Structure 1
Amino acid sequence: MALKNYKPTSPARRGLVLVDKSSLWKGKPVKALTEGKRKTGGRNNKGHVTSRGIGGGHKQKYRYIDFKRRKWDVPATVERLEYDPNRTAFIALIKYEDGEQAYIIAPQRLAVGDTIIAAEKADTKPGNAMLLSQMPVGTIAHNLEMKPGKGAQIARSAGAYAQIVGRDRGMVIVRLGSGEQRYLRGDCMGTVGAVSNPDNSNQTLAKAGRRRWMGVKPLTRGVAKNPVDHPHGGGEGRTSGGRHPVTPWGKPTKGARTRHNKSTDKMIIRSRHAKKKR
C-alpha cells in the first residue's frame, strides 16, 4: 500500500499523510465473524480509571481472527482484503473449499484470488502456515506461536516479521524484530511472509482530533503539573522534572525494565538489550 499526501486546503490537512486504503473492501465485515465491542473509557468494574488516556473514539466491531491456523490440508481462497480498526495490520477474508470462512492477518504480497493452505509442511508462499520445524532456514515469517495450539503471539502488527535462523535439538532459532534471538518449539505454527501495511508507521495524523477518533485522549506532562499531582511537578520556572523519570505513582518509567516472568529466560539466546549493555 502506498502513502497518500493531501493538499493543504485547511490547517488540519497540512502535512496529513495516510495509508492509501482504496484497494480494500469498502463494505461491512462478515457478520458471523464479528462481535459488538463495548467501550470502557479505561475504567474497571468499579468505575475507577485503571488505564489513562483512553476515551471516546469511533464505534468499532471486533473481528474474530484465526491465529491458530490448525485447519490443515484444506486449501482456501482469499476473498478480499479488509481494514480492521482493532489492529494496525490489514486482514484477509478466506474461504475454505468446504465453504467455511475465516479472517486471518494479511501478509504482504497476498492478493485477492490467491490460494493458501495450512499444513504440517507447505510451500514457502506468503499466507501459507506450517510448523516452524518445517520452515527452511532464512524464511521470513509472522504469527508465530510460543506454545503449540495456543495461537500466534509474535509478529502480528503492521510490517512485523521474524526470521528463522537455525535449528537445534528439536527447537527452532528465531530472530525477532527487536534483535532478540530465542528458541521456539518446532511444533509451533507460523505463517510465511511479513505482515501487511508496513507504511503504518509513516503516517502523519496532522491534528489532535484524528487521534481522538482513535480513542486516545491527550495526556498532560508531569512537569507541567503541581507537586501534589505528580512527582515531576512544581519547581521555579521550567524544570525538567528531576533525574529519574517516574509515573504519577512513583514507579520508574521511560526505559525502566518491567519484565518479571523470567521462566522463559532459558529460551533467549541473545537479549534484545545486548547492544545497550556496557
Structure 2
Amino acid sequence: MWLSQSASPNYSGQHLNIQEIELEHPHTTNHHQHLVNPALRWLFSLATRSIGYSNLPAMLQPRLLLRKSQHSAPCKYLSIQQTISRSYATIVEPVKVDPIPSLATTAGFAPPPSTEKSSATFAMRTYKPRTPGVRHLKRPINDHLWKGRPFLPLTFAKKGHGKGGRNNSGRVTIRHRGGGHKRRIRVVDFARMTPGPHTVERIEHDPGRSAHIAFLNEEATGRKSYIVASEGMRAGDVVQSYRAGIPKDLLDSMGGVVDPGVLAAKTAWRGNCLPLHMVPVGTMVYCVGSSKERGAVFCRSAGTYATIISKDDMAKGGSKHVQVRLQSGEIRKVSKDACATIGVASNPHFQHRQLGKAGRKRWLNIRPTVRGLAMNAADHPHGGGRGKSKGNVDPVSPWGMPAKGGYKTRKTRNPNKWVVTPRERNHGKRRVK
C-alpha cells in the first residue's frame, strides 16, 4: 500500500498528517475506532478499503496502528512523513483446477486418429545468421544423442558405384543420387528373435535413416545389436523381445495360465517386441512385420506408427491375421505372428527440419533435379522446342508414363489381397479433414 499526498483529501480545508505509521500485531483490529481525530479515522478506513483488507483471512490481515499526533492543535501545512510498501500479495486468488477427464471404455475397434491439429508446441534449433547458409537452418533438438563413433563391428562402409544410383552393369537405376559425405551403414536388427532382457547403452544418430537407433547389450551373453529407437527411449532402459514365446518365469508369475490382460500389462512396454496377437487393441506400434519369422517392413521412419484396430477370435481357430491402420489411412491385414515394437518411432520432428542451403542437400548424397522442360528433346518428352512450352502433351515421366491424374499401374487381375481399406488418393490435392 502506498500512501501519498494525492491519497489524503482536503478535510475542512486543511491537509492531513500522519506522523508515525507502524506495522504491529495487536489483538484488536478496529484501531480506527480509537482514533481521536475524525480525519485520521476517515483516512484509515479509506486506505484499508483500497487494499481489499476485509477480504483477507484473519491470519493475513495487516495490523496498522496509527498513533495520535504529538501536536494537539491542527497544523495548516502538513505532509505524509512515511510510506509503507508490501512485497507480498494482499489478495489470495483461488487456484483453478481442471476437472479430471472421464475414462473412455476400451472398444473392440480402435477409434480413428483425430484430425484436429495438436495444440502441443515444440522447439527447433535455429542459428544466428552469421552466414546465409544458416539463416534458414532448422534442426530438431536431440541433445541426448551419442557424440562418439558407432560400434564398428556392426557397420560397413558405403562405397562403390552403387552410391551413385547405378546397378551392377553401371546403368543409372535411381536418379538424383551421387556424391555425399562418407558413411558407414549400420546393421539394424529388424527381426529381434533373440529373447531375454537387453539394456539400452546409448541412443545414436544414423545417417542412413531418419529415426534414431538404440545400441543394445544382451544381459545374458553381452551380445551387441542395433534397433530402431522408440520415442522417449533413453540410455539405461531395459527392453525385451517375446517373439520366441512367453518366458517360463513370466508364465509362473501368472499361475501357469495365460491371462491376456495380465500378459499385456507385463509385456506391452515401450521398446518391447511382441507378436501382434499379444498386443492389445488400440496400441500404437512401429517396426511392424508382414509375416512370421521375418523382420519389420512397415513404420520404420521417424515419427511413424501403426494402430492395432481389430483382432479376431484366435482361440477358436478363427482368423490368422490382425488388422492394423497405417498413418496413410490404409487398413491392411498382417500375420498374427508378425513382429511389432510398442511405441512410436523416434525423432518425430524430423519432418519440420530445414536444410538452409543447397550444399547441405549435396552432403546427403542428393543431386539436383532438372525439369524435363529444360532438357533436350532426346532426353525427355517435354524437352526441345522454341520457347518454354512443352507442347500439347500430357505430363509424363522421362519414359512416357503418365505422371498425373491418378494413372494406375497395377493390373486389375492382380489386386493386393492384404489391403482391407485402401488409402485415400487425393491426386496431389490437399486432403479434406
Is TM (by shorter chain) over 0.5? yes
Aligned to 2:330: 180
Report the CA distance between 1:259 and its aligned residue. 4.3
Q: Secondary structure at the match of 1:32?
A: helix
Where does structure 2 lack aligned partners over 5 or more consecutive residues?
A: 1-121, 247-265, 313-318, 428-433
Identity of aligned residues (%): 42
Alignment counterpart, residue 347 of structure 2, candidates 197, 220, 227: 197
Contact 1:232 1:242 in 2 (8 A): no
Question: Does residue 78 of structure 1 match 2:188?
Answer: no
Aligned to 1:24: 145
Aligned to 1:53: 176
Q: Can you list the C-alpha shifts for 1:99-131, whole angstroms capped at 9, x where unaligned? A: 111100001011111111111465221101101
Contact 1:56 1:212 in 2 (8 A): yes
Contact 1:233 1:241 in 2 (8 A): no
Report the CA distance between 1:52 and its aligned residue. 1.3
Q: Can you list the C-alpha shifts for 1:181-212, whole angstroms capped at 9, x where unaligned? A: 01111111110001001111101111110000
> Residue 227 of structure 2 aligns to which amino acid in structure 1?
I
Aligned residue pairs total: 275
The within-5 A match list for 1:37-48 is: 37-39=158-160, 40=162, 41-48=164-171
Greater helix fraction, Structure 1 or Structure 2: 2
Question: Does residue 109 of structure 1 match 2:260?
Answer: no
Contact 1:2 1:199 in 2 (8 A): no
Aligned to 1:220: 370
Q: Secondary structure at the match of 2:234?
A: coil
> Residue 17 of structure 1 aligns to which amino acid in structure 2?
K
Report the CA distance between 1:246 and its aligned residue. 1.5
Work out the CA distance in 2 between the residues paired with 1:263 and 1:77: 45
Contact 2:383 2:390 in 1 (8 A): no
Q: Secondary structure at the match of 1:117?
A: strand
Q: TM-score, normalised by structure 1?
A: 0.91
Contact 1:75 1:118 in 2 (8 A): yes
Alignment counterpart, residue 277 of structure 2, candidates 126, 129, 133: 133
Report the CA distance between 1:51 and its aligned residue. 1.6
Deviates more, 1:176-185 or 1:1-10: 1-10
Q: TM-score, normalised by structure 2?
A: 0.60
Report the CA distance between 1:152 and its aligned residue. 0.3
The within-5 A match list for 1:235-274 is: 235-239=385-389, 244-253=394-403, 256-259=407-410, 265-273=416-424
Where does structure 1 lack aligned partners over 5 or more consecutive residues?
A: none
Q: Can you list the C-alpha shifts for 1:5-37, whole angstroms capped at 9, x where unaligned? A: 112211111111112333210111111111122
Report the CA distance between 1:266 and its aligned residue. 2.2
Backbone CA RMSD of aligned residues: 2.1
Work out the CA distance in 2 between the residues paired with 1:274 and 1:206: 31
Q: Secondary structure at the match of 1:211?
A: helix
Work out the CA distance in 1 between the residues paired with 2:332 and 2:350: 27
Work out the CA distance in 2 between the residues paired with 1:261 and 1:35: 42
Work out the CA distance in 1 between the residues paired with 2:365 and 2:322: 39
Contact 1:161 1:177 in 2 (8 A): yes
Q: Can you list the C-alpha shifts for 1:204-230, whole angstroms capped at 9, x where unaligned? A: 111110000000000110112232321
